[in-house]
Structure 1
């Protein structure tokens, strides 16, 4: 979405920015969703796709409520997490292997996951906070402007 094949870790701020640990960490989390947000904006704002809910999964969701709330703000949509949301890719591959070994041909992967893996999972859903939505939009304006800085760093720091 950003047309980068590689990157250079950068932290750039204006002289008016409030530089503190909380904002520094928030920037890292926002950036983790930055390229995805660009793609989602194409789908939502340009293509007219409607997003009812996002089901989050992966290690970024290990700390309850943090990335979930930020992602809800980024996508301006409810984000749901199951108890297992913090498990990473290896866990997902293990589930796929279990399905492949145990399938009898009568149920799809979706049915297997819904009926056997996630059937008893507790799900927590958060709705977007308007302040997070607005903050993420402001961040994305600067994020997009900063892509030129990133391009220069990639081109000149080998």
Structure 2
């Protein structure tokens, strides 16, 4: 335990081409609302493109200011919060997963 509280999370990546399910699992895992935009599956590539453009064309400004003044950030997004039952179910799954790790290590040694 790190004693860090996460109030909300914005997620992106290819897994979010599948709607809702990975987002709901993530919300249960972190017990926090997770927001995913309609373009979330392209987030990594988009971020790299922004950094490349910033390094090429921005002068005498911070990245934050450049994005605020240059990039349209209007997009549709969906925020999901896990139910208490989903959080409990995920914690139960994680316990079983962790308890199974020694078995996986033993199988690797055996084969």
- The bucket for the TM-score relative to the shorter chain is 0.7 to 0.9
1:30-69 to structure 2, matched below 5 A, reads 46-69=1-24
Gaps of 5+ in 1: 1-45
Post-superposition offset of 1:127: 1.2
Normalising by structure 2, report the TM-score. 0.83
State whether structure 2 residue 64 is matched by structure 1 residue 106.
no
Larger helix fraction of residues? 2
From 46, 51, 58, the counterpart of 1:96: 51
Cα root mean square deviation, aligned: 2.1
User: Distance in 2 between the 1:141 and 1:105 partners?
Assistant: 50
Worse overlay, 147-156 or 69-78: 147-156
Q: Give CA deviations for 1:19-49 in whole Å, capped at 9, x if unaligned.
A: xxxxxxxxxxxxxxxxxxxxxxxxxxx3321
State whether structure 2 residue 111 is matched by structure 1 residue 146.
no
User: Distance in 1 between the 2:103 and 2:30 partners?
Assistant: 25
Q: 1:86 to 1:130 in 2, by over 3 A?
A: same
SS across alignment from 1:60: helix
Counterpart of 2:37 in structure 1 is 82
